[in-house]
Structure formats: structure tokens, C-alpha cells
Homo-oligomer: A and B are copies of this chain.
């Protein structure tokens, strides 16, 4: 059977898997007493910690709203109501209305536990509000998203002193891939909510692309996670760090942008430099799967979890290779997609209780068996499932 003939079967498997994942979170994560979602769910869905991690709270709202908006099958009042209830809990508890700063974690009843000196909680808050504005048509959510976008752009591009970071002489500013990537994702989100905003954020999008490109290093052969403000390599472990899953995620963000604008140079950069090369470098030839962290010079990373196989890089790679195939019709991308699919469905997917395990050791054995935890919720897995379904449907339709 040719690989192209297998596309309908991939689609079928992924669709069933999304059903299971959604069911798992609908049944186990809703806090009917206080609102919001339980995030820390054991392998069978039991709550093992009541802390509400806001990145995941926001992403769950976003994901419900996105499923409602994009898939006929899930355009159900139950899904929309879950998104609205989640968003209302966040609006009530997560944000300081004066400073717009959002907390990172809360108690079950919404009291802030931790606040980070970064922009990410705020970014995910915006994502939730923006997608829900699209689902409900309510201006209240739209205005929350617009106001937060202005604030984030101000922090990133003009003045980040309000974030409360201590300025120390030894801590020189540097560029991390996460910031422009995140911003690019927000711009995409705002344009999805309202296409007429494309013009408003045009300059910011250009700025993001320029910033992301700084991370292409060593003659275009690799993507480094952190570089100097001038786009040079940084000394030390931090400078040599590669995060293959992150580069690949940036790759499909860029590719999405390139396809929208018809920018073929950007398309080639996205595929060759951000998707294909990091995948080749990041794939573990011995045991399969993508490493979490690598050192570009082959030294030992200092992160204790460097050789673990995490679920989300595999989600990003599945999206990236289907998107690359759709853009180029180069079957090599389909073969890569298949490699990640096979690894994931034989290692990460829990065919018993549903959803994916998140954390495997290098050999691919489940090492942390929960489905939701401080950094994993209802987001990367269903986003991947939804996007892969959409991509596969488009591809299958166009090749008939």
C-alpha cells in the first residue's frame, strides 16, 4: 500500500483518538463546585492535586472553543458552555485588573499562588478570550483579548519593567525563541478572530519573523533556542541549547504564515530549517522519539530531563509534516509524519483510559503516568488531533 493510500486510515485513527481525549477531559476535569478545571488527572482521570495551573485552564477554554468553532461534530452547547464557564472563572480570578498581570497557579477556589515575571500566562489568557469571542460573538471577550494584546505588545516591544524582573548587571538581555513564537501565535489567533486585524498587527508580525530568524545559526544548519540581541551565538550551555520540539513548532507557525501570504522564501525556511533539520537532529536513532533538549556541540545538556520523550514535540511534528506535505506534496514529509504517528500511537496513546501519556524515558517507557499535571492539560494533544484531521481532510479531498 502506498503511503498516500494510508491517509484515510490515519484520519480515522486520529478522529477516534480525539473522541477519547475529549471524553476523558469532559468527564474528569470539570470543577462543578468552584468553576474552572481540575488539571492534575491521574492515568484513569482521578484528581491527584487541586491546584489550578492557569496556562492549562486557559488552553482548555481555547481548545473547547476551537473545537466548537471548527468541527461540525463538536459544535454542541455542552462544549460551548464548558468554555464559557472556564473563561468566567479565569476572568474572575486570574487577572489583576489594575496591572493586567495574570497568575500562573491558583487554589481550587481561585486564590493566586504564583505569578511569573514573564508574559506567558497573559498570552494564554488572551488565546482563551479571543477564541471564545469567535465562538460566542460576545464583545466582552473580544475586548478582553484586544486589551491584553496591547499590553503584551507593550511589554515585549517597548518596556518590560512592569513584569517585575530584577535587572542585574551580569544578566545581559538575550533573545529566546519562545517570545517571538508566542507573539506570532497570538497574531494568528487575533486574525482568526477578526481578519481585519491583520493590518493592525502587520508590523508586529514582521518584527516576529525577524526575531525568529535570528535563531538560525551555523550557516543555516541548526536552530538555537537562545541567541544574543544581535543574533550571535551565546557562550555556555544556554547558548548551545537546542529544543527540537520547539523549533518544529516554530516551523509550522512560520509555514502557516507563509501559506497565508504566499511567501515562498519563508515557506522554504520554515520547512528546511525549522522542521526538517531539527527533526533529523532531534530524532533518537537508537530508541525512536524526539529528544527534549540537546547541546549543539554534543555535550551533555544540564537539564536532567534532556533525553526524555515528551508528548508535545511529537504533536508538533505530526502537524508540521502534514502541513509541509500539503504545501509541497513531497512524500518524504508523509513518511516522516508516519514515523512520528507510529511512535506516538505505540508509546504515548493510552488505549485503555484515553488521552496520551506525557512523559516517557529515553527507552519509551511511561515514566510519569498522569494525563494532566503542572505542564500538561487539554491542549497539545487535541490541537494536534484537530489540525491533523483538518490537514488530512484537505489533502485527501485535493488528491481525489
Chain A residues within 8 Å of B, Cβ to Cβ: 40, 42, 48-51, 103, 105-107, 110-115, 166, 168-171, 235-238, 299-302, 304-308, 359, 361-362, 367-370, 373-374
Taking a contact as CB atoms under 8 Å apart, the answer to whether B171 and A113 are in contact is yes
* Contacting pair B170 A113 (CB below 8 A): yes
A-B contact pairs, 28 of them (CB 8 A): A40-B236, A40-B237, A42-B299, A48-B236, A48-B299, A49-B235, A49-B236, A49-B237, A49-B238, A49-B302, A103-B170, A110-B170, A111-B168, A112-B169, A112-B171, A113-B170, A114-B168, A115-B168, A299-B370, A300-B368, A300-B369, A301-B368, A302-B370, A302-B374, A304-B368, A306-B368, A307-B367, A361-B362
User: Looking at chain A's contact residues, is the secondary structure mostly helix, strand, loop, or mixed?
Assistant: loop
Q: Smallest CB-CB separation from A373: which chain B residue?
A: B302
Q: Contact at B114–A235, with CB atoms within 8 Å? A: no
Interchain nearest-CB distance for A101 vs B (Å): 11
Stoichiometry, as copies per complex, reads 2
Contact A106 B170, beta carbon cutoff 8 Å: yes
The answer for the CA separation of A276 and B233 in the assembled complex, in Å, is 49
Cα(A369)–Cα(B114), bound, Å: 34
Report yes or no: B302 in contact with A304, Cβ–Cβ below 8 A.
no
Q: In chain B, what residue has the closest Cβ to A302?
A: B373
20 further A-B contacts with Cβ under 8 Å, apart from A302-B370, A304-B308, are A40-B237, A40-B302, A48-B237, A49-B302, A50-B236, A51-B236, A107-B170, A111-B170, A112-B168, A112-B171, A114-B171, A115-B166, A302-B368, A302-B374, A304-B359, A304-B368, A305-B305, A307-B361, A361-B361, A361-B362
Which residue from chain B places its CB closest to the CB of A106 in the assembled complex?
A: B170
Residues of B within 8 A of A171 (CB): 112-114
